[in-house]
Amino acid sequence: MATHTAAAKALTQFVLAVFRLNSALVAAGDRMTKDLQLTSARWQIMGAMAHEPLTASQIARNMGLYRQTVQPLVDALAADKLVEFIPNPNHRRARLIRMTPAGRASYEEALARQIAWSNEISRRLPVASFNEAGELARELTRRLEER
């Protein structure tokens, strides 16, 4: 029977901590934006198109998701009039999605709240640790995506 190396054991513990962190972050984001008609998932979708209109496929690709995961979220945002579909000059069927003025206002308010939240939650924690953890997460992502 194969045994874990010390690095593999540490990786497993790190992965479990990341799963718990993800759940906590999603819950915090949901609480932060509930009154803005946003959830963490909807907020992430809006963030993907914050600077330019994109198709659902482009949003999915940028976020490392499937279009089938993104489309229902986009449809819900459209039903709540936070985003709208506009013609795509490069593709007849794949419409572009952009924020409406109401969507932009909700998104900007969510960002303002996130800034205050992140300033508070990161107080007295070492910046270098965040930088190292980010580098580690990006490297693990790269290795997983290579497989």
Model confidence over 62-107: pLDDT tens digits? 998 999 999 999 999 999 999 999 999 988 888 999 999 999 999 9
Taking alpha carbons only, the member of 95, 61, 58 closest to residue 78 is 95
Q: What global pTM score does this model have?
A: 0.85
Q: Which amino acid is at 128?
A: A
Core vs surface per residue 92-111: b (16+ CB within 10 A) or e: eeebbbbbeeebeebbeebe
Rounded to whole angstroms, how far apart are CA atoms 87 and 50? 18
Q: Hey, which bits of 26-126 come out as E strands?
A: 83-88, 91-99
- Domains defined along the chain, listed by start: 36-121 (1.10.10.10)
Q: Phi and psi at residue 134, in whole multiples of 5°?
A: -65, -45
